[in-house]
Structure 1
Amino acid sequence: MDYKQELITTIHDFGCNLDALVTRLTRFSEESPTAVLIPALYEELKRPALTTIRDHLADCEFVKTVIVCVNAPTVTDYAKTLQFFQTLPQKTLIIWENGPRVTQLLADVRERGVDLLKFKGKGLAVWLGLGVASLSADAIALHDADIITYDCSYPLKLLYPLLDKEFGIDFNKAYYTRLGNYPQSFHGRVVRLFIAPLLNVLREVFGEKNYLRYLSAYRYPLAGEFALTSDLALHTRIPANWGLEIGLLAEVYRSMPSKRIAQVDLGIFDHKHQPLGEDVNSGLQKMCRDIFRSILRTLTETEQVVITMEHIHALRVKFRREAQSFTRKYFIDARFNDLLYDRHQEEIAIECFEQVISHAGEQYFNDPVGAQIPDWTRALAVMPDLRERLIYCVQQDVAQVTAQVLASTLTPKMVNPLHLESSGLPAETMGLKNDAGIPISR
């Protein structure tokens, strides 16, 4: 039995009574509302994982609001996204992240001195969704749209530690065993073959720094599944590159004492398997590049570590030997559990990651400042009603789609006009009108 505790609180699953947790969390959520945020690309609607997520969320009575921040190429794609999620019983808000109305709103913010339009991708989607969620939810769970093994226990385990006030937890991160099927094998190469050995050699080179001890306490630091309080959401800068997960942990490190941070076991977990990439600017190599730069920057910011190119060379040399020692351990673990394990492919990944250390180190010296989206308190300082305006943009987007459905420019019944109410803000109170200027009623 694994009872091990870390610098942060580790919540194990010893066969917990999920039904009892659901009952308590449902009761807690009546006084402390909850939200689930899903950043997504439109293409993910075509994959079975998101259908599984939607169908399980429909059974989660303890989730009061679902927010999807979607990057959709066209208004038709946005309409199909609305249709896809309209079966959810919860209040549901579909933010068209790259739509013209949201883009114009961010342009207005830029005119007031805060440039958000230069940020793209998942980071911006997370930022937008957290801001909207903080209006109505005390606790917000976030997860990706490609989780193959998803069920109701995921949002349950993420949210519960934040709502049980005896715990005193403000941030809860998932950890899990990443196993792929057909054939069954280890996934999670970046965590296993890059971050784990890298943290070991960083401690050898720079000593036992508090930040390194903190990162090492996370069993799966790249998990895209976490939950946080609305207050923390408003005061957190969101990284705008592939180092989002590790950069977010750095933000939590600056903001929270370790006793208010937890990690929870989600069990066996699988999602989309990323390619290794052709070079340091693609695939998992790009991810490792951004992660390494984030760690170096945070070491300098929080631990006053002066980093030189000699350090980078030493890290590269030590990394290969340390990573290779991990492959021997993984081989034994895999063989014992009858898992497929290709040591040659693992070594290829290590060689690629070793190259990343050199390239990322050089990039860090040329540009040590990372790409981080200003926190919501900064944006609200220049536009205090930004969150409400963002919701109004969403309502206008839905109204446009509804008008087009009524005009038969899209497939009939693609969008249910009643779904306008799903955000919790009735259409008439928002003053919504269709393209002809006619008010839309419920």
Structure 2
Amino acid sequence: MEYVQERIATLHDLGDTAGDTVVPGGLERDPVAETAVVVPMTGRELESPAAERVLSELEDVEPAAVFVPVRASPDRIEPFREWLESFALPIRLLWCNAPAVETLLADAGLAGRAGKGHDVWLALGPAAEAANYVVVHDADARSYEADHVRRLLAPLTMEFAFSKGYYARVEQGQLYGRLFRLFYAPLLRALSESHDAPVLGYFDAFRYALAGEFAMRADLARRLRPPREWGLEVGTLGDAFDYAGFAGTAQVDLGSHEHDHRAVAGETGLEGMSREVAAELLRVLEEHGVDPEYDRLPTRYRAAGRELIEQYRADAAFNGLAYDPAGERDQLERYADSIASPGPDRRLPRWTDAPITPQAVVEAARPRLERPVDSAGGD
């Protein structure tokens, strides 16, 4: 049984010793009633089996609030509202691309590209106002369990300020978690060969740094500066490093996850995501004293990646899993093109410094139905 600690506190699921009670074993109180959960979605999550499971499981948790920032076309937002209201949850739907939201942000000088990071940011301000703790997780985990929220919250009751989930990504008889295994991990390994900044040790301590499941005190939620699209997870780690550091950070074993899978190639696939992740990771590292040698870094990354591929090959064979080293090397080459100096900093501001209020977001993001006027002049 594995119980190895990292530079950050690592809370394992040690089987029967952890207990299967409502509150994880050893904790004196359940913080869920003081918690707002943020579950970002896009139009494709409407009535999807994974999102349906997530919301159904949350019904057993009974948090103080569930914020669902949704990016969807106008014709889908009303079906989204009706579907969300079918769950016995205190759901607060935020229509992230509503015309009123776009106007609010433009007037505040915050217009720009928008995606997952933008949508989560819109929810973080209201969530931090509504509760003492904020949990963020995706809606695409087909293996989601209500217990995950309490596990993420557990470190916050033990005086940690930030908690991140980790889990195995073994599905359909093969290894997944490709962007983490084949891009994030070898890139950090390559950078660590010539740099010893503490932030590198912090980033390397997370067993699944790109996991979308994390929890934090409301005060930290107000201080996150998310990138507008992808890269939210590594950007959050940078802010957590500044706020909580090694001593105030924990990671929690969430078992095994089964997620929806993305294609590798193209801007909407892992290849496109790697560019956003690289830009955010390298920006954070530069801010904390790392000076990457960009002319040599891709070569070092490829070498580190090839070493890891041989390790993954051995691990897969040991466990009787299918493994395609040629395909993994192809991904390595695709991701290598993402390694470059980050462009302009387009992160959104901390809510502590934002030129708009959480209440203004809630009002602007509320779906408004267009109802026909009664021809007889009635109300």
**Aligned equivalent of 1:421:** none
Picking from 351, 363, 379, the partner of 1:376 is 351
Q: Which amino acid is 1:190 matched to?
A: L
Q: CA deviation at 1:212?
A: 0.8
State the Cα deviation string for residues 260-290 of structure 1 (Å, max 9, x = none).
Answer: 1111011111212121114xx5522222222
Partners of 1:306 and 1:312 in 2: CA distance:
9
The amino acid of 1:217's aligned partner reads A
In the TM superposition, what is the alpha-carbon distance from 1:95 to its structure 2 partner?
A: 0.6
The CA distance in 2 between the partners of 1:145 and 1:405, in whole Å, is 34
| Structure whose CA Rg is larger | 1
Quote how far apart the aligned CAs of 1:437 are. 11
Alpha-carbon distance, 1:172 to partner: 0.6
Residue 358 of structure 2 corresponds to which residue in structure 1?
Answer: 387
- Give the equivalent residue in structure 2 for 1:417: none
Q: Corresponding residue for 2:146?
A: 152
Range moving further from structure 2, 128-137 or 14-23 = 14-23
Equivalent residue, structure 1, for 2:187: 198
CA drift at 1:352: 1.5
Secondary structure at the counterpart of residue 353 of structure 2:
helix
After superposition, the C-alpha distances for 1:150-192 in whole angstroms (9 at most, x for unaligned) are: 1112212112222x2xx111111111101222xx210011111
Whether 1:177 and 2:177 are equivalent positions in the alignment is no
Structure 2: runs of 5 or more not aligned? none
Change (3 A) 1:98 1:26: farther
Residue of 119, 130, 146 corresponding to 1:136:
130
Q: Does structure 1 residue 86 correspond to structure 2 residue 85?
A: yes
Which residue number corresponds to residue 324 of structure 1?
A: 306
Q: Which residue identity does 2:189 align to in structure 1?
A: N
Residue number among 291, 294, 302 corresponding to 2:288 in the alignment: 302
Name the residue aligned to 2:315.
333
Whole-Å separation in 2 of the counterparts to 1:293 and 1:105: 27
Matches within 5 A, 1:27-426: 27-29=29-31, 33-61=34-62, 63-74=63-74, 76-108=75-107, 110=108, 115-162=109-156, 164=157, 167-181=158-172, 184-206=173-195, 208-278=196-266, 281-303=267-289, 305-307=290-292, 311-357=293-339, 360-361=340-341, 364=342, 367=343, 369-379=344-354, 382-383=355-356, 386-394=357-365, 397=367, 400-401=368-369, 404=371
Which TM-score applies when normalising by structure 1? Answer: 0.79
Q: Deviations over 1:103-143 (max 9, x none)?
A: 233234x2xxxx22214111111111111111111111111
- CA distance in structure 2 between the partners assigned to 1:96 and 1:65 by the alignment: 16
Q: Which stretches of structure 1, 4 residues or longer, exceed 4 Å deviation after superposition?
A: 22-27
- State the TM-score, normalized to the length of structure 2: 0.91
Contact in 2 for aligned 1:175/1:264 (Cα 8 Å): yes
Specify whether residues 36 and 52 from structure 1 end up closer, same or farther in structure 2 by C-alpha distance, changes over 3 A only.
same
Higher RCO (C-alpha under 8 Å, 6+ residues apart) = 2
Quote the RMSD (CA, aligned, Å): 2.4
Residues 132 and 288 of structure 1, relative CA distance in 2, 3 Å threshold: same
